[in-house]
């Protein structure tokens, strides 16, 4: 039977993925971080999602995911259930969700960050519209970040432009474990020229999920020292960002990437996500830095792909280096050319129809 579906409210957002410089690894309670993290949003890697609310539909949720985003669909019904305590109207409507990534699911980019970021922004807009609140005030972004966190921790950092911090730190009173906050001012201009070349070492399915990896921090022998290290790296990195200290930036970012993987290699059970080509790329990046004195560095998420970070002023030299020396170690020569971005955008055709 197909009932007459009446369109009531609609929201559409484009939300970027983000790359962490200080890494979130390990959870407390429900989706709270064991340590603070700091990231910047990307520009070209994003998800565009629209949500339509209907009354009288046959199905609670109808998904339409373009490309390879199908797997993500399985998490959404559970997610809506989780957030229904915060959004009382959820149980009164049927949902039609359409989502599309700008990058392949298998690219090794955190698609859950952009996917949950975009979905959370749509839900927040609908929530504000339904309760007559002003969209775009600071409460709006905080709520979107909190809803995104419930879907995937790293997603809470995707709802802001530029840099964001998630988790309590000594740096700002406003930092919270419940949502991320944007770093609004003071960052040296050089860091707004950050580039991220994502070098695809292996685009196969991950051998160990992030959720399982996080859970291994619960009884990790280095848990306390990892938490202390993350706090220290937050302080050092934030200072480097303020003062424009590229050398410090490089050393903290690489320390964080390798510490994340060291946690994986020393958990019980242990696991290794890096591949021989990941290590080859790391050593080539370091050699290039030493020889050229150009401040490039790498960061790595929970996978084998290498993010090569560099600055706008070195674009010509670094691109030549990538093409000359790195692409042979990428799967089919694949890499994604990305940079720091301006954050999420509401799509103009979001509309409200009558019931």
Q: Which residues pair with 16 in a beta bridge?
A: 46
Of 19-27, 191-199, 305-313, 327-335, the segment contacting ligand DP6 by CB under 6 A is 19-27
3-state secondary structure of 350: coil
Q: Is residue 20 a contact point for ligand DP6 (CB under 6 A)?
A: yes
Site for ligand DP6 in 250-279 (CB under 6 A): 260
Q: Does 112 bind ligand DP6 (CB under 6 A)?
A: yes
Distances (CA, A) of 247 to 161, 195, 295, 317, 322: 24, 16, 7, 18, 20
**Which one-letter DSSP state was computed for residue 135?**
T
214 touching ligand DP6, by CB under 6 A? yes
Q: How far apart are CA 14 and CA 105, in angstroms?
A: 16
Q: Is residue 43 close enough to count as binding ligand DP6 by CB under 6 A?
A: no
Report if residue 304 touches ligand DP6, rule: CB under 6 A.
Answer: no
User: In the numeric block, which tokens belong to residue 35?
Assistant: 């340590």
Q: Using the rule CB under 6 A, is 16 a contact of ligand DP6?
A: no
Q: Rule CB under 6 A: say whether 146 interacts with ligand DP6.
A: no
Say how far apart CA 320 and CA 332 lie, in whole Å: 18
- Is there binding between residue 124 and ligand DP6 (CB under 6 A)? no
94, 145, 154, 245: which one contacts ligand DP6 (CB under 6 A)? 154
> What's the rounded Cα separation, in Å, for the pair 126 and 314?
43
- 3-class secondary structure, 326: helix
Of residues 87, 110, 171, 318, which one binds ligand DP6 by CB under 6 A? 110
Q: Tell me if 154 sits within 8 A of 113, measured CB to CB.
A: yes
Q: How far is the CB of 165 from ligand DP6 (least distance, A)?
A: 11
- By beta-carbon proximity to ligand DP6, the closer residue of 91 and 211 is 211
Smallest gap from residue 151 Cβ to ligand DP6 (A): 7
Q: Of 16-24, 187-195, 235-243, 335-343, which segment contacts ligand DP6 by CB under 6 A?
A: 16-24
CB-CB contact of 117 with 159 (8 Å)? yes
Q: How far is the CB of 83 from ligand DP6 (least distance, A)?
A: 14
Tokens (6 digits) for 200? 């695809």
Binding status of residue 37 toward ligand DP6 by CB under 6 A: yes
Q: Tell me which DSSP letter residue 325 carries.
A: I
Distance separating alpha carbons of residues 120 and 151, to the nearest angstrom = 8
Q: Which stretch binds ligand DP6 (CB under 6 A): 149-157, 170-178, 186-194, 251-259?
A: 149-157
Q: Tell me the CA distances in angstroms from 349 to 13, 50, 115, one per residue in order.
A: 10, 10, 19
Q: Of residues 115, 152, 158, 259, which one binds ligand DP6 by CB under 6 A?
A: 152
Helices (H), 269-339: 276-292, 315-321
**Considering only 23-31, 135-143, 223-231, 290-298, which stretch makes contact with ligand DP6 by CB under 6 A?**
23-31
β-strand pairing of 61-65 with 94-101:
parallel
Residues contacting residue 100 through CB under 8 Å, at least 6 positions apart: 47, 48, 49, 65, 66, 67, 69
Nearer to ligand DP6, 24 or 141 (CB): 24
**Of 302, 306, 326, 330, the one binding ligand DP6 by CB under 6 A:** 302
CB nearer ligand DP6, residue 87 or residue 110:
110
Q: Could you say whether residue 301 binds ligand DP6 (CB under 6 A)?
A: yes
Q: Site residues (CB under 6 A) for ligand DP6?
A: 20, 23-25, 37, 110, 112, 152-154, 210-211, 214, 260, 301-302
């Amino acid at each position: 039977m197909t009932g007459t579906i009446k369109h009531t409210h609609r929201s559409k957002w484009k939300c970027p993925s983000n790359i962490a410089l200080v890494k979130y690894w390990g959870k407390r309670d429900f989706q709270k971080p064991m340590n603070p993290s700091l990231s910047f949003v990307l520009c070209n890697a994003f998800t565009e999602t629209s949500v339509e609310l209907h009354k009288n539909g046959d199905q609670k949720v109808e998904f339409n995911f373009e490309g390879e985003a199908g797997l993500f669909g399985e998490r959404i019904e559970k997610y809506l259930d989780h957030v229904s305590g915060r959004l009382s109207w959820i149980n009164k409507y049927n949902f039609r969700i359409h989502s599309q990534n700008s990058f392949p699911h298998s690219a090794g980019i955190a698609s859950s960050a952009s996917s949950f970021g975009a979905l959370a922004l749509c839900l927040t807009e609908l929530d504000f519209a339904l309760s007559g609140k002003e969209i775009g005030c600071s409460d709006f972004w905080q709520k979107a970040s909190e809803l995104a966190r419930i879907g995937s921790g790293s997603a809470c950092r995707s709802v802001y432009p530029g840099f964001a911090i998630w988790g309590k730190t000594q740096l700002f009173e406003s930092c919270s474990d419940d949502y991320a906050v944007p770093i609004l001012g003071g960052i040296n201009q050089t860091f707004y020229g950050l580039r991220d070349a994502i070098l695809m070492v292996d685009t196969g399915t991950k051998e160990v999920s992030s959720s399982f990896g996080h859970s291994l921090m619960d009884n990790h022998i280095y848990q306390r020292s990892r938490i202390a290290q993350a706090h220290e790296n937050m302080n050092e990195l934030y200072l480097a960002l303020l003062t424009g200290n590229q050398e410090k930036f490089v050393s903290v970012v690489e320390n964080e990437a390798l510490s994340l993987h060291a946690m994986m290699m020393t958990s019980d059970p242990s696991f290794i996500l890096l591949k021989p080509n990941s290590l080859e790329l790391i050593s080539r990046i370091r050699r290039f830095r030493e020889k050229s004195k150009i401040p490039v560095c790498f960061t790595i998420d929970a996978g084998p792909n290498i993010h090569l970070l560099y600055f706008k002023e070195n674009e010509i030299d670094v691109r030549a280096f990538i093409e000359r020396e790195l692409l042979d170690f990428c799967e089919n020569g694949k890499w994604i050319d990305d940079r720091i971005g301006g954050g999420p955008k509401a799509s103009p055709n979001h509309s409200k129809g009558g019931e």
